[in-house]
Amino acid sequence: MTKMSAYSAKIPDEKGHIAYSEEEDGVWRDLYAAQELPVHRHMAEPYLRGLKVLDLPHDRVPQCNEVSERLRGLTGWQVAPVPALIGFGRFFGMLADKNFPAASFIRSRKDFDYIEEPDIFHEIFGHTPLLADPRIARVSQAIGKAGLKAEVKDYSWLIRLYWFSIEFGLLQQGQGVKALGSGLASSPTELAYSVNSEVPERREFNLLDVLRTPYRIDIHQPVYFVIQSIEDLEEMSERDLLADVRVAQSMGLFAPTYPEKAVS
């Protein structure tokens, strides 16, 4: 989370407004149009309910303060613009305070289909519909609160829980599996892959297994975890997550299921 960004943060004015160009609004419009049908086909009901109630603009980049106004009335959360990449400590602290950090820039056309770092399309289109669900919002805050108590050496363990649930989790829905995570909702290519492809492995969500599973951010995931119900996910908000991290650390990481990243 602390590596250099290829993008520059956009700074809000004294009223919290960020001036986006016509080109940037056009990127949002085209991203939204590209994802609208796939999310209704492949995303789970909690995400779709949140997307509907937030009623995000289709034709321009939303302002964080307008999204916050709606979220506060639903779950007490708000969205704050931040530089593209922030440290784990700040990230956990903001989650604990019901304050979601949103990278303020939007991707360029050359990164339209895939961007490695989060942009405002990922943050707003991907994350805020989940934060409109009180159960998922509680889980996000619980992970943040655990992070405030964690030591630096624990951060990479705890973030795996966030990664495999809020970012890239799947959800059992009826007789099938739907996508839940924000990283899937905002991805033009990985959303359908996560639920339809025969390539990745789909494992039943088990907290200790999740904590012990390494991942890479720059590839489609080789492993997804399927949460049986939102109530099962919500139970994590009542757990001592750092105690779970300690158990996972004593057991060690699983072997990676992906190739090592080539060094350029």
DSSP label at 103? Answer: E
Among 115, 154, 126, residue whose Cα is nearest residue 32: 126
Q: Give the largest Cα separation in the chain, rounded.
A: 52
24 is in an annotated binding site: no
Judge whether 220 is annotated as a binding position. Answer: no
> What is the number of helices (H) and of strands (E) in the chain?
13, 6
Q: Which residues, including other chains, have CB under 8 Å from residue 8's CB and lie 6 or more apart?
A: 84, 105
The answer for residues whose C-beta is within 8 angstroms of residue 260's C-beta and 6 or more apart is none
C-alpha distances (whole Å) from 36 to each of 40, 64, 107, 170 are 6, 21, 18, 18
**40 labelled ligand-binding:** no
A 10 A CB-CB count for 108 gives 14
Residues in Cβ contact with 109 at an 8 Å cutoff, skipping those fewer than 6 apart: 27
Could you list the residues known to form a binding site for Fe cation, using ranges.
122, 127, 167
Could you list the residues known to form a binding site, using ranges.
122, 127, 167
